[in-house]
Chain A
Amino acid sequence: MFNRISTHRVLNIGLCATLALGMLGTAAAQTTTAAAGTSASASSAQTPTGPGSAGAGRAGLASGRPRTLFNSGDPTLTLTPPLGGSRGAPPGSAPPNPDPRDFDGVWWLQGYEYLLGPAPGVPPPLKPKYMKLLEERIRAKNRGTPEADTETQCLSHGMPRLMESPYPIEIVQTPGRITFLHEVAHEVRRIYLDRPHPRHVRLSFLGDSVGHWEGDTLVVDTVGLDDRPFLDDEGSAHSTQLHVIEHYRKTDGGANLELTITVIDPVTMEHPYSYHRIYHWRPDVRPQEYICEENNRNAPVNGITVAK
């Protein structure tokens, strides 16, 4: 059982870590749309810069970001290097929409971190028990037998991890609602602007999200999160008491969407913490079909898992 899932985990890590390969690997789904025209060139043109190339990744390394957990130098605690992620829209793209309260359109994360702590290469402020669990998970990953998390099994990335995707996010604003359509694993986030959290929230992978505007900042409050997803790719843990607060604001005339994520979890964390992200406006990109389950060779048939 463990071995089977581990193998799968490795397959999916491969997909996720190398976006260029991932784009090819998701069943040609990521390639051409003749009608779209833009999307194919956009998808291939925006292959992220790896850690060794120019971009956010190298900047992070050059500034002395830890390569191992706690910067211990212990090779068994080696952290996966970041990706460069998306650049801004290529020349000739449609100009950004300067309306500060209109987030409609396609956005793409700059950079990509495997550890979602308060700074690059720094883990969340986990309590000792959960820091030990993170160490175990990093060691397992470095042994080539990573623990299978939910995303690997084509479940869901959970929050806040879903916002750390190397795939585009399409935002659709309608009365009383903001909907995030993530290319990765066709995940959908519904943010309700017209109601509070229900009194009894049913646990789900992406939780219950409500939002409101504070000036031109969209504030999103998410609770009711299932505790099975890792908080980040390296394996930080969260509980069902996780509370995520996001502040979104358009900057640079609409060319960028800035996000501050605040993570509160009284069970697994010593204290709340925040981190900052930037998404680029990408009118040249059309989100493509992404079917995680297609590569899931161990998916059950008639409710029974079969090895293939």
Chain B
Amino acid sequence: MSGAGSLGAGGKRAGCMGAGGKRAGWLRAGLAAAALVSVLSVARADPPDLSGVWSVVHPPHALRTLDGALPPLTASARAVYEEHLKAAARGDRSFDGMNRCLPPGLPRLMLVQEPFEILQKPKVLYFIFQLNRLPRRVYLGEALPTDPDPHWLGYSVAHWDGDALVIESAGFNDLTVLDDAGLPHSEDLHLTERYVLSADGKRLHARFTIEDPKTFTRPWMARAEYVKRPGYEIPEEVCMDKFLKPRAAK
């Protein structure tokens, strides 16, 4: 709206240029250029289109920091993590609710190998995962709830920072682990995701910032990359079905 107004004003001023002196002409040209910039910035304010089906390029088994290091666990969280590693080594993955078709939580859901789809609307981004057809809603231009009931996928709000989509999430339960290896977290987990679309629109680069003072001694970051899957239709995947007997012949 303001862009269209600027364009009209700029156009009018540009039209006056011939009548004015050189100096006034430069000034007017400057104003016209400023108006043009404002039009361009309005055009750029149309956010990148993240719609489509995406797959993570390298689904990680164990999350690592940007330096490839073990995340900075507190002593007590490290003990829990080591219990999980030991349990997994003897084949006991009962710490992992994903084996019972429970939601993987975040950011793990963003890092499973099954693709997901983004439906983009001005006020909501819908992430719909092939994994057990889980949906995730990200509300744009809202604040996080201040005292939420813990949810498996928490609550997510977002804003555009230039061309980057920044999602803030909190309000998680502590019944999930952060990765396949069994990295723990508490209900105080706060996740910031930053997504930038590549220039050709085929890749999505992500940075995750993980804050959880009960689990980690400081905030840390991990990265992920997604590739677009044009033409891929997400099939129905109902997790509990893998536990059922094959269909009886009629």
Cβ contact of B91, chosen from A156, A192, A302, cutoff 8 A: A302
Is the C-beta of B144 less than 8 angstroms from some C-beta in chain A? Answer: yes
Task: Report Cα–Cα, A84/B93, bound state, in Å.
Answer: 44
Residues of B near any A CB (own CB < 8 A) = 51, 91-94, 99-103, 119-121, 126, 128, 132-135, 137, 139, 142-153, 155, 157, 233-236, 238-241, 243-244, 247, 250
One of B101, B119, B143, B145 near A179 (C-beta < 8 A): B119
Write the chain A residue with the least CB distance to B128. Answer: A188
The answer to whether residues A28 and B149 also contact, given A35-B143, A204-B235, A291-B103 and a CB cut-off of 8 A, is yes
12 other contacts beyond A188-B135, A296-B240, with CB at 8 A cut-off? A32-B145, A32-B147, A32-B149, A35-B139, A153-B244, A155-B238, A188-B128, A226-B247, A291-B152, A294-B102, A302-B99, A305-B243
Q: Are A293 and B133 in contact (CB under 8 A)?
A: no
Q: Are A302 and B94 in contact (CB under 8 A)?
A: yes
The answer to whether B91 and A289 have CB atoms under 8 Å apart is no
Q: Give the total of A residues in contact with B, Cβ under 8 Å.
A: 41
Knowing A35-B157, A188-B135, A296-B100, say if A301 contacts B240 (CB, 8 Å).
no
Query: Of B91, B92, B119, B250, which one neighbours A172 at CB under 8 angstroms?
Result: B119
Q: How far is the CA of A29 from the CA of B134 in the complex (A)?
A: 15
Hey, what's the 0/1 contact readout for A205-248 against B, CB within 8 Å counting as 1?
11000000000000000000011100000000000000000000
- Is A154 in contact with B101, judged by CB distance below 8 angstroms? yes
Q: From residue B78, how far is it (CB to closest CB) to chain A in Å?
A: 25
In the complex, A300 Cα to B101 Cα: how many Å? 9
With contact pairs A29-B149, A34-B148, A293-B101 given, residues A156 and B243 touching in the complex (Cβ less than 8 Å) = no
* Given A33-B155, A155-B240, A179-B119: A299 in contact with B146 (beta carbons within 8 A): no
17 pairs, CB–CB < 8 Å, chain A vs chain B? A28-B150, A32-B147, A33-B155, A35-B142, A35-B144, A35-B148, A156-B238, A181-B126, A202-B235, A205-B236, A227-B247, A289-B152, A291-B152, A296-B100, A300-B99, A302-B91, A303-B99
